[in-house]
Chain A
Amino acid sequence: MSLFGVLRKLPSFNAIHCHINFLGRIARQQPYSMYQPFVKEPTYSIEKLDQLIESGEAKKREFVPVKAARSDHNVSVFHDELTSKFINMVMEKGHKEVATKLVETAYMKIKQMQLAKYYKATTDAERAEIELNPIVIFHKALENCKPVLQLTPIKRGGATYQVPIPITENRARFLAMKWMILESREKERTVHFPERLAYELLEAFNNTGKVVKRKQDLHKQCETNRAYAHYRWG
């Protein structure tokens, strides 16, 4: 059997059809993935590869099968994984170039707005406080938007209750990005997505704005529904 056959398999429906306990959900290992479970994600960052070689880890990984490289994986100095993920979420119908352009325009606008403040500031102390790096702002803004709990609908005795449950890191990141994008899409005719996104990111960076408010509303809802928390276990 070829290597390709070993690594990839025809889509089997075993994982989907097996009975999954809804409440005791364990992290599934990508049931729709074309790869066998033992195939590892590639490491493509030059620094990480150097680290692996130095520490001796590279020797152990010599014969471990690795997934194919994705088109957004690159060793550019401008590469940021979180930005890549975000661009994928902004993308519609596979138009990656459009999505990249939108997000990069938003970054440029963030820089423009922050530089305007920077050059207006009069003292060194004021200037030191202004963050100019759009990627740093993006990371911090997402952190500020990530919820800590989420609500899930659970049926008990004919009524459906919104029960607060813990949230995984991936889900929190997903919700933060999703809310950010949805907020930036609501617009007036003249204000386009990149500009709106830039404003939202800057507001979230300062812990204000609509997306942070949405997270806080979710937390408040979780707080008011804490009485139902035990429904999680029946």
Chain B
Amino acid sequence: MLTFCISSLPCPPPHASIAMDSNSQSNYKLSKTEKKFLRKQIKARHTLLRHEGIETVSYATQSLVVANGGLGNGVSRNQLLPVLEKYGLVDALLMPPHKPYSFVRYRTAEEAKKAYVTLNGKEIVDDLGQKILLYLNFVEKAQWKELGLQALPPGLMVVEEIISSEDEKMLLESINWTEDIDNQNVQKYLKHRRVKHFGYEFHYENNNVDKDMPLPGGLPGICDSFLEKWLKEGFIKHKPDQLTVNQYEPGHGIPAHIDTHSAFEDEIVSLSLGSEIVMDFKHPDGVTVPVMLPRRSLLVMTGESRYLWMHGITPRKFDTVQASKGLQSGIITSDVGDLTLSKRGMRTSFTFRKVRQTPCNCSYPLVCDSQMKETPPSFPESAREASQLEQDYVHRVYEEIAEHFSSTRHTPWPRVVEFLKSLPCGSLVADVGCGNGKYLGVNKELYMIGCDRSQKLVDICRERCFQALVCDALAVPLCSGSCDACISIAVIHHFSTAERRVAALQELVRLLRPGGQALVYVWAMEQEYNKKKSKYLRENRISQGKEEGTSSDTAMPELLVEQVPNVGSRDSECCVSSVTDLPEGGHKARTVTNAKLPVHTNRTSFPSQDLLVPWHHQGNPGEGKPGHPAGAHDPGPVFHRYYHVFCEGELEATCQTLNSVSILQSYYDQGNWCVILQKV
């Protein structure tokens, strides 16, 4: 059991004011704020241990872990270092990439203690201008995994010495840079480098290949033996049919880019000849990882490193490399104690790719030219359009993702459980939109019937021995007034018009007997309510099996420890137009006409009320081929689900238009707007 640091060190949080002498520790009483602060500090400790394997200690040392002060949550070195330096001489500040914490080592434990006492709970501003609180804990030493393959972009691998010096010489000599112009292998002299294409010509105007015009001759014969060997040894999975040879003289580079999704398949490999070079990989969040590519090495890019990260070579004559590692492959860290310069030589790369014959279907739609080209659906104008939209972007999707979806829906939400447990024994309860039956077994004293539109999800309910049937929430085949209670959790936000949402609610009310209650949950527009980010936004990227599906494209910084909510202030992102969208006597006023539905980026705020939310369906992980990069599995297709997220007050207002209903309760719970209705 971790002990409070209070007992071993007299270090009250900065905002508490207690007079204390060394003999009065036993009389020390913690105020409410102090207790809260301590809880947060302990939570930070637990999270660090559980997720990162970082062990904190309760006695003073030179080293501290600073939770919420990391590159992964938007705190940069030049913001944090000056703050830390106020308390003593900083030996080192280690900021592991993508992590929501960092390590600081002071010259002495005394200085570290000063920082610990003063900085704990201190507010700083991150690079988005948001205020965050730092939580400090002592550690024996800075512990995080070696910067090796771990922090390489996922799907990236560098195979060293894949060819011999003789073969390198042979390959370099085989390229004829001064061929005749009417030779089919067209040669271009680009601003920074020389290129030659084989198999298919690559067009720099649109960064794509012409799939219908293969270049005669195919790949050079000498490459065949290498490709066969690499295939056999599992370094590559597919036989490429396109080759681009690039020659970089010192000072040449290539601007950062992602190889066009629609042009080439997943695997892209590049053989480095003649000289080593440092290639930069950039993540859309802004993280840059410099990677050393030694001579005679093969760079393999798959998955995220191929589809999401940009790669480029800075045009310069010297690269910054790690002195201790010499010319070995790996990441160049920003460890100032170990960096040195390496003069560039002439480098030639052979980049092998396989041309795609079908549109790209990767998990990174926002950077995918195939998927961005698809005509996005628009806001429905009629009941038929609405029904079709829901068919394409709700029902079809849930059928496809049912199993995966079910595996991420295992934890019943406490307040829903509370509602169900409050019902008397023998109550008949309908769960409209029951999904995988998460709530059907929560209270054994109830008779619950689940209804869902998805056969596959109802099958899962059946496997769990629950009573469930397939039907539409707008036409539930239960007798009117037959239910003592109903629940509809995260369902009504899938209806694409206000009319249909009202109709779904009306249907719930129809099922209730007089006095019966219904609990409704819908996704809120305001994912950050009362300055407290919902679980959806807060979810740590590292952990698996999250409630709201997986994501690889998050733009919001994630905190290790949640903020103290600012009670009293409210986010005012309410869209009044949606409330006036309600039907009155059948006539509807629409505020949006012919608008396209935006695609949302998971784990960020919602851009509008009507939108498509991606679901990244996990394909099967790559089989254990030797040498194949860890974590490089089939990205799997992405599905878009339609949502209408509700503004504050909108659900209530919608319920108020219903017949014979009174609203008992209305609240916000973890990113959802909720109501409890009663049939009068």
A binds B: no
Chain B interfacial positions (CB closer than 8 Å to A): none
Chain A interfacial positions (CB closer than 8 Å to B): none
